[in-house]
Amino acid sequence: MKWRHFLAKWEGAHAENRWGRTLIAALLLLLVLLAVERFRKETIVVMQPVTLAQDAWITRTQAAQSYKEAWGLFLAQLSGNVTPGTARFIQVRLKPLLAPAIYHEVMNALHAQVQQILNDRVTLRFEPRAVEYEAETDKVFVTGYAFEKGASSEEHRRERSFEYRIQIAHYAPLIRFMDTYEGKPRTQAVLKQRARQKEQEKGSHETTH
């Protein structure tokens, strides 16, 4: 009787030990999976850009709309406010932000603009009025009034837009595209409307002939 009682206890302890090892193995597997997921997940940094009132987030390769808008506004103000004394400084500041694909083209254009500003003693001033982000193209448009004044001329005002496509690489902004022109921003809606107008004008022209 005592022998049977002992065997029952031993089998129970053996079964409990077996289930305990299985549970420990399952917990270790879960811990490994959680650790792998933790290291795979990108770190999200939340900040509040100086040029905007709302918070923004940034990861290694992505950023919030407000973060890109803040950088677009900063770049437009940097590029739009130029004097003979700050022209080369602005060129140096933009240099490390350019993507390799557009680096030489932009640097050549900036060099030519700097030389013209230095030769003509031109002062450029920009007053931003609107910042717009277009999700379809991942572009930031900054629109405002540009003022240009020569050494011996009056200041002239024109509406001007700055256009940027900003990529995030290792938590840092990288300019993949930039352009500036007179007038309203050339968003996809505006470009499509212009294309329709050209088609209509072309059709009416062919009809009259």
Asked if residue 53 and residue 36 are part of one domain, the reply reads: no
Range in 5-19, 27-41, 116-130, 191-205 with the lowest mean pLDDT:
5-19
- Domain of 20 in residue numbering reads as 1-41
Locate tokens 């690489």: which residue? 169
Residue 151 has pLDDT above 90, yes or no: no
* Residue 146 to residue 82: CA distance in whole angstroms: 11
Residue 209 has pLDDT above 70, yes or no: no
Residue 13 has pLDDT above 70, yes or no: no
| Residue 92 resides in a domain | no
Is the pTM above the cut of 0.75?
Answer: no
Asked if residue 153 and residue 168 are part of one domain, the reply reads: yes
Digit-coded pLDDT (tens) for 53-75: 567 777 888 888 989 999 999 99
How many domains does the chain divide into? 2
Asked if residue 61 and residue 134 are part of one domain, the reply reads: yes
> At 46, is the pLDDT very low, low, confident or very high (cuts 50, 70, 90)?
low
Asked if residue 179 and residue 137 are part of one domain, the reply reads: yes
Digit-coded pLDDT (tens) for 152-207: 778 899 999 999 999 998 888 999 999 999 999 999 999 999 888 888 877 666 66
4: left (phi over 0), alpha (psi -120 to 50) or beta: alpha
Asked if residue 66 and residue 16 are part of one domain, the reply reads: no
Q: Which of 16, 25, 124, 22 is nearest to 76 (CA)?
A: 124
* Residue 61 to residue 43: CA distance in whole angstroms: 10
